[in-house]
Amino acid sequence: MTTQDTATLGNALERAAARWTDQEAFVCDGIRMAYRDLADAARRTAAALLARGVRKGDRVAVCMDNSAAWLTLFYANALIGAATVAVDPRLPPRALEQRLRQTGSALLVTVDRIGDAVDVIAALRTIEPALDVALPGRVLPQLRTVVVLGYAVPRGAVGYGAFQGQAGTGVTVDRAAVAHAAAAVAPDDAALVLDIDALSHATLLRDGAAAAKRIGIRPGDRYFSARPFHDLADVTPAILVAFSVGACLVTMPDFDAGEALRLMERERCTLVAGDDATARRMMEHPSCDIGRLSLRDGWSVHGS
């Protein structure tokens, strides 16, 4: 039996933080996190989730582009045995409602909007009018809490800062509660929700280790992948590949070919992952100069 078969994502994160403590783990949108920073942030967020009533077996929807918050929530959920439901913030209201309803999400963490084009809160108001009063509502009765990262926080929701600090709630959760919850999580427990089915901790860790071996990623590599975390097929080849060997994952909220090239050059990325379309857009971009990059290798998936 392999280590991946007997571990949880929380175990794996704690081991990574102990082994590669001050080594950089994640770079995105101006935020840098060492392995220790990520583990600390995941524990704090796990405590906030417990304070909001999230327990083992619950499903927590995360509706945002690639970010430190997305990554932190993924591991915080894993620490306490909740499963992450990855949600594309650009879904139209009907599809968003279906995703939340089918997965039985009890808590949703969302951005308020994506640029000027996508108003996520407006979509949620269309789905569940109780968001402007108090949750749960009639349309999504299983959704007890909505946490908003941004300025447009409806009356029935809570802001991300207040959620993290539990400001004004009178509720505190000791770190011991997080450790107690983590001890009850098993490798076969659900960690990431697809549609109705889910992937376990053991499956994700095993697939991540296998993909890392196939790709040839090494400790200390700087691994660029702009594929969206909310595309469920990309959690393993991005997050789990990098963190299985002590590499640094470099990503961006939304792909832009020119910015991707500048980011890879600035961060001295040694590996790149993507799909045929993004690879072609980078290679055809006017600023593309392979000689300025530090790439050792790369890989691409077809048909995305």
Q: CB of 70 within 8 A of CB of 110?
A: no
Task: Report yes or no on 28 lying in a domain.
Answer: no
> Phi and psi of 62, rounded to 5°?
-120, 115
For 109-134, the pLDDT digits (tens) are: 999 999 888 999 999 999 999 999 99
**The pLDDT of residue 268:** 97
Residue 25 in any domain: the answer is no
Within a domain: residue 32? Answer: no
What the block records as the tokens of 158 is 């809570």
d(CA 278, CA 83): 29
Residues 182 and 222 in one domain: no
Look up the domain containing 216 and give its range. Answer: 199-301
- Contact at 8 Å (CB) between 45 and 33? no
Q: Report yes or no on 22 lying in a domain.
A: no
Question: Alpha-carbon distance 106 to 288, whole Å?
Answer: 45
Query: 8 or 116, which is more confident?
Result: 8
Residue 291 contacts by C-beta under 8 Å, 6 or more apart in sequence? none
> Is residue 205 domain-shared with residue 283, that is, in the same domain?
yes
CATH number assigned to the domain comprising residue 286: 3.40.50.980
Say whether both 124 and 268 belong to one domain.
Answer: no
**Which pLDDT belongs to residue 25?**
98
Domain assignment present for residue 161? The answer is: yes
- Mind listing the pLDDT tens digit for each residue in 186-244? 999 999 997 778 999 999 999 999 999 988 999 999 999 988 998 876 677 789 999 99
Say if residue 177 is in the same domain as residue 275.
no
- Residue 102 shares a structural domain with residue 234: no
CATH of the domain at 108: 3.40.50.12780
- Domain boundary residue, one of 143, 170, 193: 193
Tokens of residue 41, six digits: 């942030």
Does any domain span residue 16?
no
pLDDT at 299 over 90: no
What is the DSSP secondary-structure string of 31-87? Answer: EEEEHHHHHHHHHHHHHHHHHTT--TT-EEEEESSS-HHHHHHHHHHHHHT-EEEEE
Q: Is 0.85 topped by the overall pTM?
A: yes
Residues 181 and 73 in one domain: yes
